[in-house]
Structure 1
Amino acid sequence: MILQFKNVGLLFVAQLVSYLIPILEIPILARALGVDEYGHILLIQTTALLCSLVVEYGFSLSGSRQVALCVGEKPLLSKIYNEITSAKIMLTAGMVVTSLLIMSIATVDIKPQAAVWGYLYFFAYGFSSIWLFQGLEKITFPVVFEVCLRFVGLFVLFIFVSQPEDARNALMIMSSFALLNTAVGFYLVYRVVGGFSFVAKGGVKQIKDGFHSFLYKSSNNIMMSAGPALVGVMCGQAAVAKFAPAEKIIKASVGLVGPVLIGLYPYLSRKLLQSTSLNLKFSTFIVAGLFFLGVVGAGIIFVLGDYLVSLMLGPGFEEAIVILRIFVFVIPFRMMNQAMGLTIFMPLGKDRILSFLLIFFSFFSLILAALLSYEFDLKGVVYGLVLSEIVFSASLVAFAINIKRVESSAC
């Protein structure tokens, strides 16, 4: 039990740092590079992270679960690692081909050297081995090493990026530190499972078996991560520099709720099986409480929007204030949606409904944002993301009420 609390604490710290570092990067890069160069870097960085989410494919759930069931059986552990890494290689090939086709027809100007570093950034995050150590419950060194490395990388950015001409250096520094972390991960994996061999059939099987994990874990993340890429295509790279800082603040505000909900998930799963009607009231209380906290948080960010943007970005980013003040309306609804998923739908075994709604509204939000951008430009993208989140909330509430009615009549 102590080991489990320790691992949860380490994962929480890792998640906190994963949101904190991008926010700390904003004033360093925005003030040094200016709107255009910063937008160019952000477009490449966020597109690379979006591609890495597809390659990760929810293996942090499905892969770590498989590993946890075969601890001590090295041949089986090696088989699982080879199959999942083979699956990642196949998914990577698909993403590389897709991205090259998109770049060939997109109007966004991507510099060749920057694109190369962007692909390396994508490979680094896509081939992270943390899922293996998560399943083995041996994440202390990988997590601590990654956290330390990310802060060192941030310091190096601060030292070596000071003017627009340093844009290439910025992307090179971020990619290099990410690659170093992944390389150390490969070395640690080699000590545990030995060498790697490509297994095509096993890779295809892992992709097929992990599809529902991918839908649940990745749909929401892809929806948020695809925002900057969509802005770049529809509104230009300068608009990305005004959109992405607001998006990072929103993502950090909402993301820290995740570890708390995941911590409650086993308890609620057990309690809902014992007394569905009584404990649905407790779940409803959690959902309502997080929605209220989201409203408070959104109000604080709305009031401080001018100060936050001026502090982080400096002159030339005035439109980012407007974007942030529109975007904050996502916070309470997204917190409520996460809470409903992990305290009502999944504990009751309604994960198929949840997965369907997630993937549907992920695409709906991007289509709506793209359509509204024709009329309202950058603000239209944000309007689309906010409106789709509200409609998603209404849909979840409607399904939850129906579930509660069915469960009550069954009792």
Structure 2
Amino acid sequence: MRLPVNPRELAGKVLTSKGFRDAVLVYFAYCFRFISPLLLYPLLTRRLGVDGFSVYATAYSIALLTSIVVEYGFNLSGTRDIATAADDEQRGQIVGRISLAKALLCLPAVVIGFALGATNPVVGGDPAVTLASIAIGCALGLSAFWYFQGMRRIFLAVSLEVSGQVIGLISTFLLVQHPKDTILALSIQAGAIAITSLGGVFIMLRQYPDRAKSNVREAMDALVTGFPIFISRSAVVIYGTAGVFVLGLTSSATHAAWYGAAERIIAPAAALLRPMSTILLPRLSAQASEDPRKAARTAGLICAATGALYLFGALIVCLGAPILFKVIFGAGFAGGAPVLAVLAFVMPAAALNTIIVNQLMVALRLDKKIAQVVLAGAAVSLASAFVLSHSFGGVGMAASRLLSELFIFGFAAFLSWRHLGSNRSVTSATR
């Protein structure tokens, strides 16, 4: 019996000389992204204390929520469009309209950031904390990583990202010393991210000095066309990163700090699949344009392998949660171990969703269906979050996150299967 996709053939295609080098470089960046919070957050929890760290974690949550307004899903749709562009002229047009669209989106991001800061009891409307959050959010959203990913210029993208993290780590270690330095810690992160993001934008725009020009109408067209992806990305970030913010409303600053600390362990680990996604998305997009079912089979094989690997990792984290939490964050955070034990199982579920939603469905151009999936997931997440976090604090929020990830995987798999089935029927009918 012949397998639908030969594993040796698949490995040969992915592990070409350039593909293998890209994989090594991107995994280096993501490993550093995994190590960076494990160096930064233990430092912050000990120097800022529970109260100071709860403000920092909540402010960073606000930053992530505002970043989705500026990013607008272009990290997915922009990558796809750049990867499939016919020539430099078309790429320059894409760069121009997306860059202007992101610049225009900074204004609503500022308004939303101030609204979030004013309504959260942990931040308490502090203008300095809110401004730092907005600066981090806008800097994250303006990143040109989408362009370098689509062009497969992985080395440059990795160099920019790692250099920003190193600047942030060293500056925080040297300058943040006391519980009153929360705003300083946030400002350092804002500056480090802004340097790398704007540096990437500058390099990107220099590639198309004449072609990367756009007007407001073209930017608005980009916003209209990218709206389904924006809705889906917004919902993903809301259910994925709003936990600390919601806990500040429904529970206490201590539970928000516990959840924020646990999330910093889980989030990078759950994102370790994204480097492979960086390499696979352009390839899956090309494969899906020729044979959608073959792209689905490829994604299915990757899901099976990564799901088993991440489940094994989740079991290890769950069993070792009490020791991990105490060693990494200090004795003052030991009460957050149950949160980490539950949140560990988000890793395999989030990894599967990264493949099905962010890779396969994007490659199949199911933008509207992606929006349906993540909006439904966000509704499930927010409804369960307010109910469970009110009664069970950080553990309830972790359970809500796991429930939403499982729901999204089931719904996305069903819609993809139905689309492929209808596509096969149409193909057969035309023969």
So what's the TM-score if we normalise by structure 2? 0.81
Map 1:205-354 to 2 at 5 A: 205-217=221-233, 219-261=235-277, 263-264=279-280, 266=283, 270=287, 276=293, 284-341=300-357, 345=361, 350=366, 352-354=368-370
Q: CA deviation at 1:404?
A: 7.5
Q: Which amino acid aligns with 2:98?
A: I
- Write the letter of the residue equivalent to 1:247: E
> Quick one: structure 1 residues 237 and 90, their matched pair in 2 at CA, closer, same or farther if it must change by over 3 Å?
farther
| Whole-Å separation in 2 of the counterparts to 1:37 and 1:197 | 44
Superposition deviation, residue 230 in structure 1 = 1.9
Indicate conservation of the 8 Å contact 1:23/1:245, yes or no. Answer: no
- 1:230-276 superposed Cα distances (whole Å, 9 cap, x missing partner): 22232243322110121122222221123335545636974896694
Aligned: 1:200 with 2:216: yes
| TM-score, scaled to structure 1 | 0.85
What does residue range 90-169 of structure 1 map to in structure 2 within 5 Å?
90-108=104-122, 109-169=124-184
Deviations 1:335-363, CA, capped at 9 Å, x for gaps: 33334446765566655434311221023
SS of structure 1 residue aligned to 2:256:
helix
Tell me whether 1:86 sits opposite 2:108 in the alignment. Answer: no
1:357-391 deviation line (CA, Å, top 9, x unaligned): 12210232022201222222332222222222233
Say if 1:275 and 1:65 are closer, same or farther in 2 by CA, change over 3 A: closer
**CA distance in 2 between partners of 1:344 and 1:272 (Å):** 12
User: In the superposition, relative to structure 1, how do residues 125 and 273 fare at CA in structure 2: closer, same or farther (>3 Å)?
Assistant: closer
CA deviation profile, 1:14-57 (whole Å, cap 9, x unmatched): 33333432232111111111100011011112211221122111
The gaps in structure 2 that reach 5 residues or longer are 1-15
**Mean CA deviation greater in 306-315 or 139-148:** 139-148
Closer, same or farther: CA 106–215 of 1 in aligned 2, 3 Å: closer
Secondary structure of the residue aligned to 1:250 is: helix
- 1:56 pairs with 2:71: yes
- RMSD in angstroms over aligned alpha carbons? 3.4
In 2: Cα distance, 1:285 partner to 1:64 partner: 23
The question of whether the paired residues in 1 share the 8 Å contact of 2:97 and 2:215 is answered with yes
Change (3 A) 1:123 1:365: same
Aligned length: 408
Partner of 1:26 in structure 2? 41
SS at match of 2:40: helix
SS of corresponding position for 2:121: coil
Structure 1 residue 147: Cα displacement: 0.7
* CA–CA separation in structure 2 for the residues paired with 1:327 and 1:13: 25
Instruction: Please give the per-residue CA displacement for 1:303-324, whole angstroms capped at 9, x wherever unaligned.
Output: 1111111111102212210111
8 Å Cα contact 1:40/1:238 also seen in 2: no
Q: Which amino acid aligns with 2:350?
A: R
Q: Given that residues 157 and 170 in structure 1 are in contact (C-alpha distance below 8 angstroms), is that contact kept between their aligned partners in structure 2?
A: yes
Stretch moving more, 252-261 or 294-303:
252-261
